[in-house]
Amino acid sequence: MELVNGRYNIQGIDLESLAEEFGTPVYVYDAAKIKSQFDRLSGAFPQVDLRIKYACKSLTNISILKLLKSYGSELDCVSVQEVKLGLKAGFSPEQILYTPNCVSFEEIQQAVELGVMINLDNISLLEQFGNKYHNTVPVCIRLNPHIMAGGNKKISTGHADSKFGISIYQIAHILKVVSTYNIDVVGLHMHTGSDILDAEVFLRGAEILFDAAKNFDALRFIDFGSGFKVAYKEGDITTDIEEVGAKLSSAFVQFCETYGKKLEMWFEPGKFLVSEAGVFLVRTNVVKTTPATVFAGVDSGLNHLIRPMMYDAYHEIVNISNTSGTKRVYTVVGYICETDTFGLDRKLSEVKEGDILAFKNAGAYGFSMASNYNSRLRPAEVLVYNGKAHLIRQRETFDDILRNQVEIDI
């Protein structure tokens, strides 16, 4: 979002007017920002055959999926329901990678029937898969490289104590299972976590994958996951995508020469593509002064945006109703019967009841992690595309709360 002549807008559309038109709380996404992020990532790896698999768990609205497909993206899914959403959005099965964790073998079978690429991270499931399909269904294996990386332990997935991936130290066991059941392994995968700054983390992981890849002679791709860090506030250090692209591409090309054939390089970004494109608009319900704190209480809570409470995530907050007022210190909180603090001791232009506050960087893991806690309704979603605002999800109603409940006579 941009500040022009004292008013915040996306593609020239005034944000406060969007709050009035669609109500609050509301998620608003900028298609142009998603496109620029996609193009930047695509352009950072010119030397390799790159496939970008959007990690749709970050934002699963079907219109966002269709948008990314139109830009040339493919899809990374973590549940069979996400797979079905991807197919509904128009992705072909060949464009979808299915990377589950701790699911039943029955769900794996559903995904096989849908024709998508299966990515397994559990030796037990690998054995069941081999016993069922042998070499008739190609598969990818997710390895745990034992690299601690990411901005928060809860989003670090490649360390030794993680539930994700098969330990690289179990490679001999993997090879025994693959050989016993004649499994067609066509890809290797890793994902060490989110908010990774250093290109060296990807290079360390690459060396581990390259070493493991020497044991598989039919690979078609290597998937390096993602985890690129975006800016949460002004001056934030972010992942230098161009540096990662240059260094990792060079290492990948050298490996392919050693391996004997050209492989595809896969990435599965989520936050990098959609986070900065999203803004969450809320209305101030109350301004409450206590002896120590001034609270700005808004018409939302952890039921709509849980990242600050779950991950200690920082979202910059601005008062778009009063962009030039005197700065005062507020703690911005929600309306849920829990301690749901969005921002502690933030300097905002003076906030009055009724003012619209905007949370920046809210495109990823915002609506997709929303709930009906306290029997609250989930918000609307709006996509600004080609200079026009489109409603892409209606605000829930009380009927939605009751929809699947079964009332019995008591």
Binding residues, by number, are 227, 307, 311, 338, 365
CA distance 356 to 374: 23
Closest CA to 282 of 293, 294, 297, 270: 297
CA distance 302 to 338: 8
Element (H, E) at 37: helix 31-43
CA distance 178 to 356: 57
User: Can you give 278-329 as a three-state secondary structure string?
Assistant: EEEEEEEEEEEECCCCEEEEECCCCCCCCHHHHHCCCCCEEECCCCCCCEEE
Q: How far does CA 40 lie from the centroid of its chain?
A: 17
Contacts of 329 (CB under 8 A, 6+ apart): 294, 345, 346, 347, 348
Only one residue has tokens 């029997």, namely 375
Active-site choice (56, 102, 140, 337): 337
Length in residues, the chain: 410
Burial environment of residue 66 by CB neighbours within 10 A (0 to 12, 13 to 18, 19 or more): middle
Residue 256 a catalytic site member: no
Closest CA to 230 of 279, 194, 280: 194
Q: How many CB atoms lie within 10 A of CB 12?
A: 9
Tokens of 2: 């941009």
Rounded to the nearest 10 degrees, how much is the dihedral formed by the CA atoms of 335, 364, 377, 288? 10
Q: Which residues line the annotated binding site for substrate?
A: 307, 311, 338, 365
Tokens of 129: 């898969």
Contacts of 186 (CB under 8 A, 6+ apart): 117, 138, 139, 140, 218, 219, 220, 221
Which residues are part of the catalytic machinery? 337
